Amino acid sequence: MTYKLGLIAEKIGAELIGDSEIDINGINSLSKANANQLSYIANKKYIDSLVNTNAGAVILSENMKNDCKTNALLVSNPYLAFAKVTHFFKSNNTIPKANNLNIDPSANLNNAVLGPGCVIGKNVLIGKNTTLESNCIIEDNVRIGNECHISSSVIIQRDCQLGNNCTILPSSVIGSEGFGNALDENKCWHRIAHLGKVVIGDNVCIGSNSAIDRGTIDDTQIHSGVKIDNLVHIAHNVVIGENTAIAAKTGIAGSTVIGKRCMIGGMVGIVGHLNITDDVTINATSTVNRDIKKPGIYTGFFPLMPHNAWKKAGMWLTKLDKITRILNIKLKDTK
């Protein structure tokens, strides 16, 4: 796909300095871009690359325009503008002609594009301009909105709901049974049937191989604008507030409520039945085991150290209660 630079500037609301008629056919890094490619800079530490770039044009902010020797697109937020531009050049998969489909006659597909091997259950409703790639399974009573893209091998289980303009990447599972079990008098586990569903808002993106469990009785809720990375597990009855972003390998235990505009780093573990307020950032690999009531940045781990030093620190941590008791006794004796 090729665009005139002037059209790109118009689409992202940029001030164009240079030739609006040059053709741009792709995006590349500052060091590798050629005369028909677009690049961007959002950090001054790459200023040398900007000075020496062969890019046809660069997205940048006002304070770096004097170092740009090529066509410039001036914006207040270069990274956001770059994010928008990437979609102009994204190649979408061509969906093969559908075959071996298993579609219940009660489904209302609204001319959705279906890849080969899809299975569609009873009373399914799929919105306009929605695409399902190959081997998707959409179970009974599912509702999928308009302009959604469901990648290959995604499973959306019974009764779940998706809003408009949602993207689910390959092999994710929406609406699986949660991990709920009860012990009997013989210490044997009995699985709890989960009767709720998963309700997903608009403009939600769910990464590959992620799993979102249905609610036990109430619904698991993913509100509009949420972005979920690959390999994330969201347990039953969890509520994720609007425009929260969750990085890969994070696990959120059941019945936790996370507020709006939170940012959760990779490999974070959040225990169940917690409340996390709006505008919270949790750094990667942290463990969250208590409510977070104030916005801010939180970290829940010790700094990295050599293993032998960590073993010594761990040994002292296990003895802190004993040390405190001894010190309190000695303080009393000195009084």
> Can you give the residue ranges of every domain in the chain?
3-86, 154-298, 311-335
* Rounded Cα distance, 330 and 44, in Å: 57
- For residue 16, name the pLDDT band (cuts at 50, 70, 90): very high
CATH number of this structure's domain 3-86, picked from the four choices 3.40.1390.10, 3.10.105.10, 3.40.50.720, 3.30.200.20: 3.40.1390.10
Sheet of 227-228: strand order equals 113-114, 131-132, 149-150, 167-168, 205-206, 227-228, 245-246, 263-264, 280-282, 296-298
Of 34, 39, 48, 37, which is closest to residue 1 (Cα–Cα)?
37
- Secondary structure (H, E, C), 244-300: CEECCCCEECCCCEECCCCEECCCCEECCCCEECCCEEECCCCEECCCECCCEEECC
Mean residue pLDDT across the chain: 94
**Cα separations (Å) of 26 from 14, 30, 52, 175?**
18, 12, 19, 38
Burial 152-175 (b: 16+ CB within 10 A, else e): bbbbbbbbbbbbbbbbbbbbbbbb
- Whether the CB-CB separation of 233 and 264 falls below 8 Å is answered with no
- Secondary structure (H, E, C), 159-186: CCEECCCCEECCCCEEEECCCCEEECCC
Within the chain, what is the greatest distance between any pair of CA atoms?
87
Residue 229 DSSP class: -
pLDDT tens by residue, 157-179: 999 999 999 999 999 999 999 99
Q: Higher model confidence: residue 96 or residue 68?
A: 68
- For residue 325, name the pLDDT band (cuts at 50, 70, 90): confident
Which burial class, exposed, middle or buried, applies to 99 when counting CB atoms under 10 A from its CB (0-12, 13-18, 19+)?
exposed
Q: Is the pLDDT of residue 203 over 70?
A: yes
What was the pLDDT predicted at 175? 98
Q: Is the pLDDT of residue 335 over 70?
A: no
Report helix angle 320-334 to 307-318, nearest 10. Answer: 50
Residues paired with residue 173 on neighbouring β-strands, in sequence order: 155, 211
Helix (H) / strand (E) element for 227: namely strand 227-228
- For residue 320, name the pLDDT band (cuts at 50, 70, 90): confident
- For residue 140, name the pLDDT band (cuts at 50, 70, 90): very high
Sheet of 57-60: strand order equals 15-17, 71-74, 57-60, 37-40, 26-27
Q: Higher model confidence: residue 187 or residue 318?
A: 187
Give me the active site residues, please. 236
- Whether the CB-CB separation of 122 and 139 falls below 8 Å is answered with no
Q: Structure pTM?
A: 0.87
Domain 154-298 CATH assignment equals 3.40.47.10: no
Residue 187 DSSP class: S
CA angle 37, 19, 55 (to 5 degrees): 25
Q: Is the pLDDT of residue 142 over 80?
A: yes
Q: Is the pLDDT of residue 279 over 70?
A: yes
Q: Mean pLDDT throughout 37-57?
A: 96
pLDDT tens by residue, 81-99: 999 999 999 877 777 777 8
What was the pLDDT predicted at 94? 75
